[in-house]
Amino acid sequence: MALSRRSGGRSRLTIALLVLTSLTLLTLDFRDAAIVQSARRTAGNVFSPLRGAAETVSEPFSNAWHGITSYGEVQDENDRLRRRIEELEGRPVLDEDAAQQLAELLEQQNLEWVGAIPTTAVRVLSGSPSNFSHTVDVSKGSRDGIKVGMPVVNGAGLVGKVVLVTRDRSTVQLLTDPDFAVGIRLLGTQVTGTARGQGKGEDLLADTNIEPDAADLPKPGASVTTSGVDRAAFPASIPIGKVRSIKESRGGLTIELEIRPMADTERLAFLTVLLWEPTP
């Protein structure tokens, strides 16, 4: 029994010496001491029988350390793959948006109601209008023949008019602006009036020359275009919208119309400027 204890003590002492020697040699190796090379060879011969056991015991710790030290590389790779997946997942949305913009642009290539008026297509540069701003900036200006007052449309109809021009850009006032006014005509009738904007997302409000007791009162759904009367600010027959409702004016002498614009002024990608100026 005593012999067994002494053997166990020597084994523990041997392992302790192995660990201490290994640490000493490792420290000296970091310092690149030449004398260590011979000592390392000797130690290798002495402790080689114990090397396999030591490596077996230390393998889990070695793997854990490798995982810790390479974690940064793994994380970077995961981040790269995650970004790629997000790009692929987002591509259909981008393709859908591009297709929508292309369709909108193509829709404006053959506007029958424009007639012989020359036009130029522009891209909308600014974002959607806010409750406090009713203008958008577009990608062309005076060098493309654009002037203040020219009408601006899209495939649906009237969008607004140019109110500011620089060499390469222009600002368009939208028809939803409370300061915007346009002469209107009910399609197929002689009913005329003036429509004004009432703000983002709101219908236009138009006063007319119709008396409340007239026999041919307009009905909801009737189409409204620009009037194009003499010296009008817009050429005739540009679609504006459809009648949503009718009501008596405040004075009770005429009828007012609420008109839903055809053009969606909150989502604009491409527009067409009519290179047209009213006759003085």
Measured CA to CA, the distance from residue 136 to residue 201 in angstroms comes to 15
CA atoms within 13 A on the CB side of 263: 26
Q: Which residues of the chain have pLDDT under 70?
A: 1-109, 127-132
Residue 273: the pLDDT is: 95
Query: Could you tell me the domains of the chain?
Result: 2-69 (no CATH), 112-274 (2.40.10.340)
Residue 28 tokens, joined = 């000296």
Task: Give pTM, 2 decimals.
Answer: 0.63
Q: Are 143 and 126 in contact (CB under 8 A)?
A: no
Residue 279: the pLDDT is: 74
Q: Are 211 and 182 in contact (CB under 8 A)?
A: no
Each residue of 168-227: pLDDT tens digit?
999 999 999 999 999 999 988 888 999 999 998 899 999 998 888 887 888 899 999 999
Q: Distances from the Cα of 68 to the Cαs of 72, 75, 161, 208, 265, in angstroms?
A: 8, 11, 64, 79, 55
Residue 85: the pLDDT is: 57
The SS3 call for residue 131 is coil
Q: Are 232 and 216 in contact (CB under 8 A)?
A: no
Give the Cβ contact number of residue 274 at 10 Å: 23
Residue 50: the pLDDT is: 45
Q: Distances from the Cα of 56 to the Cαs of 51, 53, 203, in angstroms?
A: 9, 5, 81
